[in-house]
Amino acid sequence: MTQQNSDALAADAPTLSPARVRFALLALALGGFGIGATEFVAMGLLPNLAADLIPGVYASDPAAANAQAGWLISAYALGVVVGAPTIAAAAARWPRKKLLLVLLTAFTLGTLASALLPTFGWVLAARFVAALPHGAYFGIASLVAASLMGPGKRARGVALVLSGLTISNVIGVPAITWLGQLAGWRIAYIAVTAIFALTFLAVLLSVPFQPGDKTATMRNELKAFGRAQVWFALGIGAIGFGGLFAVYSYVAPLVTEVTGLGASAVPLVLIVIGLGMTIGNFAGGWAADKSVRRSMFGFYAVMLVALLGLALTAQNVVGLLVFVFLVGGAASALSPTIQTRLMDVARDSQSIAAALNHSALNIGNALGALLGGLAIAAGFGYVAPVWIGLGLTALGLMIAVLSFSWDGLRRRRGEVLGYGTELIQTVTVR
């Protein structure tokens, strides 16, 4: 589907009052707020989870226990990877509001199970199940938001939905991390469950009916996987975004063991990361509507500089705060940029394209957490994940260069790429 076709669909959306549109967008963003909380709270509470769920390992080797607790982060990420394309492809014909409500119900029940199940193995399984709706929710909510925003504002519609996630990192994640430190990590997840229940009511009351794509079939949606540029875009997110999560997954021990601050400083550092993510998200949405290519290259460059600075200055409080802010900001700016790129190159497979971005980013989540945990368990220390993140980000940038170079090569040869002349102009010039 081209930029012009997407804008035409947005223009055909039902006319709503400005107040109703704002309420609906706020409801969609509230879902992102809950997702941010359920995904990222584990990172601030990693030592608490390790001490409670694997106490024997924690008592003998806290670093090994923290690395093992990182599996909870990887399990959630892998749930997103599995659920996003599967649900998006299977439910593309569903009315969008109905699908959002089903997904929010699954979030509520999955997060509640995470809070109540007794052992590490069961909680690990619950985190995987709770993550299954993640990508599909963001994908469908982004399509709804783009329709509500109107023509020419696709990336900003995506950014508005993602703003819930980034604002969660400013307010929700630090606050719930503090609650978890005070009352226990299980209480923290019960609080997240309440956020999802509230989101269900808000979406039920505010989001207008939107039909699904009646022409969509699972076979047609899965055609996206036959396009080389879709795989390039997935690689950009799956590899490059690992840079953020290699740092974020182990931010708690980085703050306490490397910078030498107390555990009470962890929520404050999370607020700084969240502020960077919030600002970066809106900057990325604005920049991607201007030029996807320039936005992607520019923010990847900032992220490389930020990770290098963090690796060199993490022992210093000022260095820690400045560079985690920049890491969060640059990574968050890349999210709407990568999603817009995917929606461009996936043509008519829009539902799965919108969801696949979150599969890609959560492969980065799992990869960053896994490699960072292996480095810590091998005895390289808590700065090692930052260096791993730097390497993953550099690889992501290289894939982006290859993707856009491929576009340019085909354009110079005068080939149509199978997208049609109009889409070539949209994808390759921007």
Q: According to the model, what pLDDT value does residue 403 have?
A: 85
Is residue 338 within 8 A of residue 366, CB to CB? The reply is no
Domain that holds residue 359: 3-429
Half-sphere exposure of 386 (CA within 13 A, CB side): 25
pLDDT tens-digit series, residues 88-136: 777 777 888 889 999 999 999 999 999 999 899 999 999 999 999 988 8
Please say if the pLDDT value at position 152 is more than 70: no
Where in 152-264 does DSSP place strands (E)? none
Which of 353, 342, 336 lies closest to 162, judged by CA? Answer: 336
pLDDT band at residue 61, thresholds of 50, 70 and 90? confident
pLDDT digits (tens, 9 = 90+) for 288-342: 878 888 888 999 999 999 999 999 999 999 999 999 999 999 988 888 788 778 7
Q: What is the pLDDT of residue 129?
A: 92
- Across 182-207, average pLDDT: 93
pLDDT, greater one: 34 or 139: 34
Residue 412 has pLDDT above 90, yes or no: no
- Which pLDDT does position 132 carry in this prediction? 92
Q: What's the confidence (pLDDT) of residue 287?
A: 85
pLDDT score of 416: 47
Residue written as token pair 């404050």:
268
Q: Name residue 248's amino acid.
A: Y
- What angle do helix axes 421-429 and 3-11 make, rounded to 10 degrees? 100
Report angle CA 404, 1, 99 to the nearest 5 degrees. 115
Can you give the pLDDT at residue 6?
A: 45
Q: For residue 423, give both structure tokens.
A: 């889409």
Query: Taking all residues of the chain, what is their mean pLDDT, rounded to a whole number?
Result: 82
Contact 80, 68 (CB under 8 A): no
Q: Give tens-digit pLDDT for 206-249.
A: 888 877 666 666 666 667 677 778 888 888 888 888 888 888 88
> Which pLDDT belongs to residue 306?
94
Amino acid letter, residue 135: G
Q: Look at residue 81 and tell me whether its pLDDT is greater than 60.
A: yes
CATH of the domain at 334: 1.20.1250.20
pLDDT at 185: 92
pLDDT score at 364 = 83
Nearest Cα to Cα of residue 347 among 1, 9, 88: 1
Instruction: Confirm if 347 and 419 have CB atoms less than 8 A apart.
Output: yes
pLDDT above 50 (res 64): yes
- pLDDT above 60: residue 43: yes
Task: Count CB neighbours of 421 within 10 A.
Answer: 9
Give the per-residue pLDDT at 3: 45
| Torsion on CA atoms 362, 161, 195, 131, rounded to nearest 10 | -20
What is the per-residue pLDDT across 305-314, written as a single tens digit (0 to 9) for each? 999 999 999 9
> pLDDT tens, 372-404?
888 888 888 899 999 999 999 999 899 989 888
Counted domains in the chain: 1
Contact call for residues 255 and 266 (beta carbons, < 8 A): yes
Confirm if 329 and 283 have CB atoms less than 8 A apart.
yes
